[in-house]
Amino acid sequence: MPKAAPKAIRRRRQRGSINAEEIIAGAFEVARRESLDQLSMPALAEHLGVGVTSIYWYFRKKDDLLNAMTDGAVDTYIREMPPLPDDLPWQDVLRNHCRNSRHVHRNDQILSDLIFIRTSTYTRYATRRVFEVEEAVISRLVDAGFTPENAFMVYNAASIYLRGMIIHDRILRLSDAPTLDDRQRRMIDWSTMPLLESLIDRHPLAGTTDEDFEFGMGRLISGFEALLREQDTKTGGRQVAAKRVTAAKPPVRSGERAAPRRAAASGPGGAAKPAAEKPAAEKPAAEKPAEAPAKAGTGSQTVGGRTRTRQAS
């Protein structure tokens, strides 16, 4: 009988010839080829050509490796996101931010899984970097006139829409759902649903195309514009009060808060008076310093042309 061909001997790297960065990069390669769920320490060691103990030297368990991969995914995401422009209206800033974020996530599905789905693997570092991005967008909305509370709610609404679109598309593609393309025509008999039958040849039922995304963002921004108009029609005191809560200011001296109201009452160009200043009451014309009263028991009196002086007893 012919002898079986000998198995190819996998050549290992020398001990100590690999570092943490190479292990993380190799983990991304294995995850993209398989999946995060299929990523294991032995499979990673085989991919890198090292003993599994070399992996455990840097990462004691898979969760530690996933934490490091999440840090790397967040760094990649922030590096690939364009900076927020200073010269565009807030509508374009928000729309472009969501559009660019969707593009980054669609181009790297493992990055998307780590950032959007495996949030339990966030380290303090990754958490801080992600919320720094949120802070920057909310700050632009506040600069545009939204109260901090409304700016926060606007960002949340846009972010939930964005994440839902990305995750829904990711799940459908993992299962190769027929609603993503023209296979949806053959799914069922559509004759009993005339409206859908008239649309399925032009619109995927998945609802995750670029056209679907832009439509949803446009409607959201229209609603945010309406919110800003509603906010502007209300008294300005509510917005000012909200800003005072979020930003510490130097203590206000007595009389400063009422100064703008008094300035408005004084007419155009009129200067506000100090808080303690009031119209002084006119003093009586005859008011003079009072003379000191005569001492008790001493005085003079004129009677019949003669002056009598009374001495103190």
- Whether 62 and 52 have beta carbons less than 8 Å apart is answered as no
Task: Please calculate the CA angle 100-103-108 and round it to the nearest 5 degrees.
Answer: 130
Which has more pLDDT, 262 or 298?
298
- Tokens representing residue 276 in the block: 């303690």
Supply the mean pLDDT for the chain.
79
Say yes or no: domain 86-246 is CATH 3.40.630.30. no
Rounded Cα distance, 202 and 185, in Å:
11
pLDDT value for 217: 97
pLDDT at 95 over 80: yes
Is residue 103 within 8 Å of residue 213, measured between CB atoms? no
Q: Per-residue confidence at 12, pLDDT binned at 50, 70, 90?
A: low
Q: Measure the CA–CA gap between 223 and 234, rounded to whole angstroms.
A: 17
**Tens-place pLDDT, residues 213-234:** 999 999 999 999 999 999 988 8
Confidence of residue 257 (pLDDT cuts 50, 70, 90): very low
pLDDT of residue 120: 73
Q: Which of 312, 285, 307 is nearest to 297 (CA)?
A: 312
Which residue has better confidence, 188 or 306?
188
Instruction: Give 187-251 as a DSSP string.
Output: TS-GGG-HHHHHHTTTS-TT--SHHHHHHHHHHHHHHHHHHHHHHHHS-THHHHHHHHHHS--PP
Angle between helices 148-174 and 210-233 (to 10 degrees): 170
pLDDT at 16: 59
Greater pLDDT, 260 or 182: 182
Residue 135: predicted pLDDT: 97
* Backbone dihedral angles phi then psi of residue 90, each to the nearest 5 degrees: -60, -30
| pLDDT in the model for residue 286 | 47
Classify burial at 93, counting beta carbons within 10 Å of its beta carbon; exposed 0-12, middle 13-18, buried 19 or more: buried
Distance CA 92, CA 163 (A): 19
Give the integer Cα–Cα distance in Å for 148 and 24.
39
The tokens describing 8, both together, are 């190819």
pLDDT band at 292 (very low <50, low <70, confident <90, very high): very low
Give the model confidence (pLDDT) of 267-285 as tens digits: 334 444 444 444 444 444 4
Rounded Cα distance between 165 and 106, Å, is: 10
Between 38 and 284, the higher pLDDT residue: 38
* Per-residue pLDDT band at 15 (split at 50, 70, 90): low
The ranges assigned to domains in the chain are 86-246
Q: pTM here? A: 0.68
The two most distant CA atoms of the chain are separated, in Å, by: 171
Tell me: the pLDDT tens digits for 103-158? 999 999 999 999 988 877 788 999 999 999 999 999 999 999 999 999 999 999 99
CA distance 74 to 214: 25
